Amino acid sequence: MIRHLIAAIATILALWASYYMYTLDKQVHKLDEIHRIIKASEIKVQLKKPAVVKEETQPTAEENAAAAEEALKSKTKELDKKLEALKNKAGNLSAFKVSKLYKQNCSSCHGVNGRGIIGPNLVGKSKEYILEQLKEFKSGKRRNYVMYGLLQKMDEEKLDQLATEISTFKEKWDKYNNQ
């Protein structure tokens, strides 16, 4: 009876995790759309040679070029601020891409990019450590019914793929943060 109850709870958690991933994917797609809109709305300034006027009050070509360059810098700074605000608002949803295997099985507890939600932070863990932990959960040596339920149907190749991917998260976070 207890086994059935635990299996039901694990099933409910797996369904919730799938729904949660679906909503996260929708948010990521919204962020991608925002990036495309910003990219499409970039302003490109073309400088034309000013007509030569002999009045002393007209700016020179150099002054016009400098003014146009200053306007471009100002607009670029403004767009950069808006983009940064969007990134901050969106959080780390799209810090870097992860595989479908990770999204479906891990991200609901460990976060889209491994920083942890209800599960622990995976960033900075080695492939060997992750693989060992996955095998211990699968075998039942470490007790966690959610992990046990998720890993039961995974073969060694998928466990290795997950461990390899998770072990790259620190490098991906460092690259993301240095952009």
Q: Which domains does the chain have, with CATH numbers?
A: 1-34+96-179 (1.10.760.10), 42-94 (no CATH)
Q: CB burial class (10 A; 0-12, 13-18, 19+) of residue 79?
A: middle
- Average pLDDT of span 11-27: 83
Tokens 């009050």 belong to 57
CB distance 112 to 24 below 8 Å = yes
Could you tell me what percentage of the chain is helix, strand and coil, using 3-state DSSP and rounding each to the nearest 5? 65, 0, 35
Nearest to 113 by CA among 130, 90, 96: 96
Lowest pLDDT segment from 9-13, 63-67, 109-113: 63-67
CB distance 59 to 67 below 8 Å = yes
The 10s digit of each residue's pLDDT in 48-95 is 666 655 555 666 777 777 777 888 788 778 777 766 655 554 444 557
Q: CB burial class (10 A; 0-12, 13-18, 19+) of residue 161?
A: middle
CB distance 94 to 28 below 8 Å = yes
**This prediction's pTM:** 0.48
Banded pLDDT at 155 (limits 50, 70, 90) = very high
The 10s digit of each residue's pLDDT in 158-177 is 999 999 999 998 888 888 77
CB distance 135 to 159 below 8 Å = yes
